[in-house]
Amino acid sequence: MPSIGLIKTAFREWITRERSPRLPEPDLIMDDAEQVASYVRAGLEDGVMAPVYLFHCANICEVIRPGDTVLDLACGPANQLAMVARLNPGTQFVGVDLSEPMLEQAGARVAHQQLRNVTFQHGDITSLSAYPNASVDAVISTMALHHLPDEHALKRAFAEVARVLRPGGGVYLVDFGHLKAERSILYFAHQYQDRQPELFTRDYLNSLRAAFAPQDFRRAAEPLLPHAHVYATFFMPFMVAIKSPARQSRNLALTAQLKKLRDALPPWHQTDFRHLSALFRLGGLDCSLLR
Ligand SMILES: C[S@@+](CC[C@H](N)C(=O)[O-])C[C@H]1O[C@@H](n2cnc3c(N)ncnc32)[C@H](O)[C@@H]1O
């Protein structure tokens, strides 16, 4: 059962005339040591972001295949990337980020987990000049696009995705979506403040304020359509995903591993996972690997 706060937020978003302005992130490139450390902690597999990472992991697994080369745009400390790479040992991943401290954390994480299918590249996701046209099988990105300064940069990033992707390649690009009312933004930012460091709550608030609206995603994603579709969480577009059709759906071993990870989450994370899945399903995004 959704909480009263969530129901009130949905109702507010439905009736409000407010249009809160997009405020770009104060730190576009995350290279402050304390900020990096707090983000790494929240992304640990028992951290506050665990259900969100697992949900995106299942969706990513659906659009990639063994033998693929996959780019993860703005991979940060590889919270998401390490989880996906561990479940897909036959796929090669390259994490791209502009922050050296993030890439150091990412390198340490994959070394600690002895993952041999991940490399990293220091680079700008709005200019993937190291990659020729149609040279990668799939492109993924999680919770990072709001770090781009404006819609022009978002358009450049998506144009680069369309350029480097092989025909019929996999796409899963997901990020926060901009809510209409500042009070709704504050609700989400402070929802779990007692479970996370204060710095993470502040960062999360900045992220929600910097998020692009679903219509910004739709405009910028044009070069990727109609191969991929834009989905948003129902009623409250606090998350938006651009996903191509599934490239693997009946992988029973992968399904079993994903379900095991989900069942190992503590009860409050399982509730969050169910809410996120339900809100995305109502918005049209389904994941056959977790059915
Ligand atoms: C919030 S983190 C997301 C990390 C990761 N994708 C995850 O899901 O945990 C955002 C990352 O985007 C990176 N970033 C921001 N602008 C970038 C750009 N133009 N090119 C590459 N990386 C960028 C930041 O340095 C930071 O590591």
How do residues 142-191 score in pLDDT, each as one tens digit?
999 999 999 999 999 999 999 999 999 999 999 999 999 999 999 999 98
Q: Quick one: pLDDT at residue 290?
A: 83
- Report how far ligand 1's centroid is from the alpha carbon of 258 (Å): 25
User: Could you tell which of 60, 70, 75 is best to mutate to test the pocket of ligand 1, judged by most ligand atoms within 8 Å of the CB?
Assistant: 75
What pLDDT is recorded for position 31? 78
Domain range for residue 113?
Answer: 4-290
Mean pLDDT of the chain: 93
Ligand 1 closest atom vs CA 75: 6
The pLDDT tens digits of the residues spanning 183-196 come to 999 999 998 888 77
CATH number at residue 108: 3.40.50.150
- Kindly state the percentage of the chain with pLDDT values over 70: 97
Q: State whether the beta carbon of 62 lies less than 6 angstroms from ligand 1.
A: no
Give yes or no for residue 47 CB within 6 A of ligand 1: no
- The answer to whether residue 45 scores a pLDDT higher than 70 is no
Pick from 25, 59, 102 the residue to mutate for probing ligand 1's pocket: most ligand atoms within 8 Å of its CB. Answer: 102
For the chain, how many structural domains are there in total? 1
pLDDT number for residue 48 = 80
- Please give the residue that has the higher pLDDT: either 33 or 128: 128
Distance (Å) from CA 33 to ligand 1 centroid? 14
pLDDT value at residue 195: 78
Average pLDDT over residues 52-67: 97
- Write out pLDDT tens, residues 120-134: 999 999 999 999 999
Please state the three-class secondary structure of the chain as a single string: CCCHHHHHHHHHHHHCCCCCCCCCCCCCCCCCHHHHHHHHHHCCCCCCCHHHHHHHHHHHHHHCCCCCEEEEECCCCCHHHHHHHHHCCCCEEEEEECCHHHHHHHHHHHHHCCCCCEEEEECCCCCCCCCCCCCEEEEEEECCHHHCCCHHHHHHHHHHHHHHEEEEEEEEEEEEECCCCHHHHHHHHHCCHHHCCHHHHHHHHHHHHHCECHHHHHHHCHHHCCCCEEEECCCCCCEEEEECCCCCCCCHHHHHHHHHHHHCCCHHHHHHHHHHHHHHHHCCCCCHHHC
